[in-house]
Amino acid sequence: MRTLVAAGVFAEEKPNRFGLTSLGQRLRSDAPDSVRAAAVLLSGEPDLEALLLSCVRTGKTAVELASGTTNWIDYYQSDPARAAVFNAGDDGTFQRSL
């Protein structure tokens, strides 16, 4: 939490009591200019992040190691929950839904 305080997302209003700053308000799903979905999408995937060392050792991507496919779209499409996170967070950059 204190890292997010330092980043300006939260403010420590009282000892161990935190509140959203104006920057942090944008993480709310009901905010008019919400970036929540994109933040969830871009926050990383622990399953893939855990494969970093194996990626370095094998030269394969984390998606390939996790799923056997080299196509990241197939990886996201294989799991409806993962596809939903992608679709909610995509701002149109990829110009497709999974």
HSE, CB side, 13 Å, CA atoms: give it for residue 85: 14
State whether 9 and 22 are in the same domain: yes
Number of domain units in the chain: 2
Query: Do 20 and 41 belong to one domain?
Result: no
Q: Which of 43, 13, 8 is nearest to 26 (CA)?
A: 8
Give 20's strand partners. 10
How far is CA 91 from its chain centroid? 13
Residue at 80 is within a domain: yes
List, for residues 5-35, the tens digit of each pLDDT value.
999 999 999 999 999 999 999 889 898 888 8
The tens digit of pLDDT for each residue in 49-85 reads 888 889 889 999 888 999 998 888 888 888 898 888 8
Residues 82 and 44 both lie in one domain: yes
Q: Is residue 97 part of a domain?
A: no
Residue reference for tokens 């196509």: 71
Global pTM value = 0.53
Domain that holds residue 14: 1-34
Both 20 and 49 in a single domain? no
Cα distance between residue 79 and residue 31, in whole Å: 28
Same domain, 48 and 66: yes
- The amino acid at residue 86 is F
- What pLDDT sits at residue 98? 59
Q: What is the average pLDDT across 77-95? A: 78
